[in-house]
Amino acid sequence: MTLAELVNETFLAYRGKLTNVPTTGSEKYSRILYLINRNQRQWALDSNVDWPSRYEIRTIGTTSTGTQSYDLDDDIVRLSDYVQLVPTTGSTSFVTVIKPQATAGVANGCYISGNDPKQITFLTDITASNTGRSIVVPCFTMPDDLVSSGDTVAVDNPQWLIYATAAELARNDPSKEDGYGNLQGIANDLYQNMVNEAESSSFLQPNGVPNNMSYNAIDSWSS
């Protein structure tokens, strides 16, 4: 679904008709666009759901001698699995992601900290023997805001975005506020359907970063 189609569908759900639909650049259109993008961001940031459509395997840089911390791309919401350190030749190392407060006594691993940008920090020293490895992170990402009329909606089920946005518009419109509950109820049902679909697509797979898989220790990179 494109942004133009989404705006029309949202206005129809909100007003019940497609007359006097706000035009691009108008104050009403800008308000609808703001709500659409805010809802889409909130969808991507839901910490309880890993949306398969937002999954990527991203290379964020290359290990450098003496450098322990590396910036994550701004659009990375969270990591989904082991961090991979890929040499030009030889075997890939898989590094466990742990919480910053759990690093005491841990020799091998990495953790995420900071904000704007978030950084990944490796616990084992980056030395000449393990420099030059690509840092590959399986992750879930934030979609770009919708801007142009032809931009494609990122949300798995755009119908949820339609009704969630229409509900917010109705809630703040005295002439339509009596329809808020119905619109929000439909949005809630559609969201739960999205969650069910996302969870069913990862049958028997871990929901977070697993910690019971054998992996090559960081201090053996030189092999």
Over residues 205-217, the pLDDT tens digits come to 444 443 333 333 3
**pLDDT of 173 higher than 90:** yes
Directed axis angle between helix 3-15 and helix 158-171, to 10°? Answer: 50
pLDDT of residue 218: 42
pLDDT one-digit tens code per residue, 53-80: 999 999 999 999 999 999 999 999 999 9
Residues 6+ apart with CB under 8 A from 141: 44, 54, 56, 58, 73, 75, 76, 77
Average pLDDT taken over every residue of the chain? 89
Cis peptide before 117 (omega within 30 of 0): yes
Please give, one letter per residue, the 3-state secondary structure of 48-88: CCCCHHHEEEEEEEECCCCCCEEECCCCEEEECCCEEEECC
Determine the pLDDT at residue 108. Answer: 84
pLDDT at 4 over 70: yes
pLDDT per residue over 123-151, tens digit each?
Answer: 999 999 889 999 999 999 999 999 999 99
- 12-32 pLDDT, tens digit per residue, is 999 999 888 999 999 999 999
Whole-angstrom distance, CA of residue 38 vs CA of residue 32: 10
- Quote the percentage of the chain above a pLDDT of 70: 90
Segment 156-168, tens digit of pLDDT: 999 999 999 999 9
pLDDT value at residue 102? 85
34-38, 103-107, 137-141, range with the lowest pLDDT: 103-107
Share of the chain above pLDDT 90, in %: 78
Cα separation of 87 and 74, whole Å? 25
d(CA 88, CA 1): 41
CB atoms within 10 A of CB 179: 19
Classify burial at 1, counting beta carbons within 10 Å of its beta carbon; exposed 0-12, middle 13-18, buried 19 or more: middle
